[in-house]
Amino acid sequence: MISRLAPTSVLLIFGAALRFAYLGSRSLWFDEALSLIGGTRPLALTRDFLLRCEVSPPLFSALMHAWLPFFADPRLGLRVFSALCGVAALFAFRGLSERLLPPRARLLALFLAAASSYWLHLAQDGRVYGLLSLIIVCEARVALELTERPTRRLWAAYAALGALGLYAHYYFGLILAAHASWLLRHFRSSPRERKALILAHAAVAAAFLPWLPSFLIQFGMHRGDLAVGDPLTPRHLCGLIGTLFFDVTYLGLLLPAWFTPALGAGLLAGCAAGAARLARRGGDADEQRALGFLLWHVVAFISLVGAAELLCGRPVTQARYFASIAPLLYLLLALVLSRPGRPAAVARLAVEALVLAGAVGYFVSGKIVDPRLDRLAASLQGSDRRLPLVYLETYYYLPMRYYYLPERPHFLVAEAAEGIDYRSLPPYDGVLGRERLSRLGPCVVLDEKRVLGGPARSIGTGAQVAALLERSALGAKK
């Protein structure tokens, strides 16, 4: 049966199967726990939760309110939603590649999108990024179609997707600005379409206006929490680009620090060389149009990320935020590697092998390296359930409190709270200042990073923990 299918159909089935493979094998991690809390709190309290504990818009949390009640296991519910969005994004990507790329490049582009461990990760993570990827590909398709035959229907779709994207993730605004600049350039001699472009973006702004005060409050409350990565230096940029093709998550920690930046640098160099060759060669107008569209958006997005960092005065970027240009880079690399000739053929084989190795590494890390929270929860089941659990770092705190062991009391020492307002989370204030900690009786201490210099798990009293904390590096920060 499979042998009778077209290669495109085989790749779509392959990509869809990968997005659902081992969907529940990974531990529920910290950010997914935030998604779980935001999606299960009363809808009226969602805004307050997002302002205090997230730096994201409300669309995903609102959707989870309607989605999660259908699942007995909320971890599975979060991830099934992302996987479905990931499959839809793959189908939308196929349509975009057929609209943009020459026939010789389409199969390679679809392979990169189907097997990329980065896109697999986004499609299996219980966060907004699977949905965001779908919106991004659809908006790119509409922006491209507008340059071919602008209609009211397409302008309405462009505005609607723009509003959805902004309510999904704030970084969508950067790729939307790239679309706007591309369309403005394309319609520079058409006053009618320039007016339609302005009206479409005015509609997006009007749709986002009700949330704008919340965004400003959110930005102000979490300004000190925005250091989510390294500064956008050339090395960091190369690392981000490398991750889009070779994201092996926790297994990546075993690789040398230079590996991913070197990989990204090689891919960027290859794209630049191939693009320069295509630009010099001239010829096929459709090919030149595809090259211009892709290069414009990639360069514009990266430039706007740099501008956002300068505006904030601190690093504001991590690999998941580059979801906006991941599909465009897959298309660009497929375009430049699909040209005839032996060097291009060798490069294609190398990239295909790399992407497949990344997919294998991603699933290996999920099965072997990552499920430590599942194991930790199982090990704690045998301890006295009356003893509260005290955490010396945040990663374990929310997943254990809201998913793995919700029947146990959980407390986080205030020094480890990292500026996030955990005190407002239901059903009790789980943050222990030094005075409250000193009054706490016997407890199970979870110190996975060995902050106190002892074992990862031990039983003691709150007074003992407070005394040890006073002499620790964590206590010295306060």
Name the pTM for this structure. Answer: 0.94
Spatial distance between the Cα atoms of 243 and 240, rounded to a whole number of angstroms: 5
Same domain membership, residue 452 and residue 329? no
Domain count, the chain: 2
Closest CA to 93 of 122, 60, 66: 122
Spatial distance between the Cα atoms of 336 and 274, rounded to a whole number of angstroms: 5
Domain hosting 407: range is 372-476
Same domain membership, residue 387 and residue 262? no
3-state secondary structure of 21: coil
Interhelix angle 74-100/7-20, rounded to 10 degrees, is: 160
Bridging pattern class, strands 442-446 and 457-461: antiparallel
Q: According to the model, what pLDDT value does residue 385 have?
A: 86
Same domain membership, residue 207 and residue 70? yes
Same domain membership, residue 400 and residue 452? yes
Same domain membership, residue 472 and residue 385? yes
CA quadruple 273, 318, 360, 347: dihedral, nearest 10: 0
Number of neighbours of residue 265 by Cβ within 10 angstroms: 18
Single-letter amino acid code for the residue at 218: Q
334: alpha, beta or left, given left = phi > 0 and alpha = psi -120 to 50? alpha
Q: What residues contact 394, with CB distance under 8 A and at least 6 apart?
A: 30, 412, 416, 417, 418, 420
Same domain membership, residue 422 and residue 382? yes
Q: Which residues on neighbouring strands pair with residue 442, listed in sequence order?
A: 461
Spatial distance between the Cα atoms of 329 and 138, rounded to a whole number of angstroms: 16
Same domain membership, residue 230 and residue 311? yes
Same domain membership, residue 393 and residue 343? no
Cβ proximity of 175 and 325 under 8 Å? yes
Q: Which residues on neighbouring strands pair with residue 431, listed in sequence order?
A: 412
Q: Where a domain ends, among 369, 398, 430?
A: 369
Cβ proximity of 443 and 468 under 8 Å? no
Alpha helices by DSSP H, 365-455 = 372-380, 397-399, 434-439
Same domain membership, residue 196 and residue 165? yes
Closest CA to 75 of 41, 28, 39: 28
How do residues 227-266 score in pLDDT, each as one tens digit?
456 788 999 999 999 999 999 888 887 889 899 999 999 9
Long-range contacts of the stretch 248-255 (C-beta < 8 A, 24+) = 248/117, 248/358, 248/361, 248/362, 248/364, 248/365, 249/117, 249/121, 249/362, 249/365, 249/366, 249/369, 249/370, 250/365, 250/369, 250/370, 251/361, 251/362, 251/364, 251/365, 251/369, 252/361, 252/365
Q: H or E element: which one contains 65?
A: helix 59-67
Written as tens digits, the pLDDT of the chain (478 aa) is 455 568 999 999 999 999 999 998 899 999 999 999 999 988 888 899 998 888 889 999 999 999 999 999 999 999 999 999 999 999 999 999 999 999 999 999 999 999 999 999 999 999 999 999 999 999 999 999 999 999 999 999 999 999 999 999 999 999 999 999 999 999 999 999 999 999 999 999 999 999 999 999 887 775 555 445 678 899 999 999 999 999 988 888 788 989 999 999 999 988 888 888 777 766 678 888 899 999 999 999 999 999 988 887 777 788 899 999 999 999 999 999 988 888 889 999 999 999 999 999 999 988 777 778 888 999 898 888 889 999 998 889 999 999 999 999 999 999 888 767 888 888 899 999 989 999 999 999 999 888 888 898 999 999 999 999 988 767 666 5
Same domain membership, residue 418 and residue 377? yes
Q: Where a domain ends, among 314, 348, 369?
A: 369
CA–CA distances in Å: residue 459 to residues 230, 378, 406, 441: 37, 17, 20, 10
Tokens coding 462: 């709150």
Spatial distance between the Cα atoms of 180 and 143, rounded to a whole number of angstroms: 9
Same domain membership, residue 234 and residue 124? yes
Tokens coding 98: 């057929």
Same domain membership, residue 365 and residue 389? no
Q: Where a domain ends, among 313, 340, 369?
A: 369
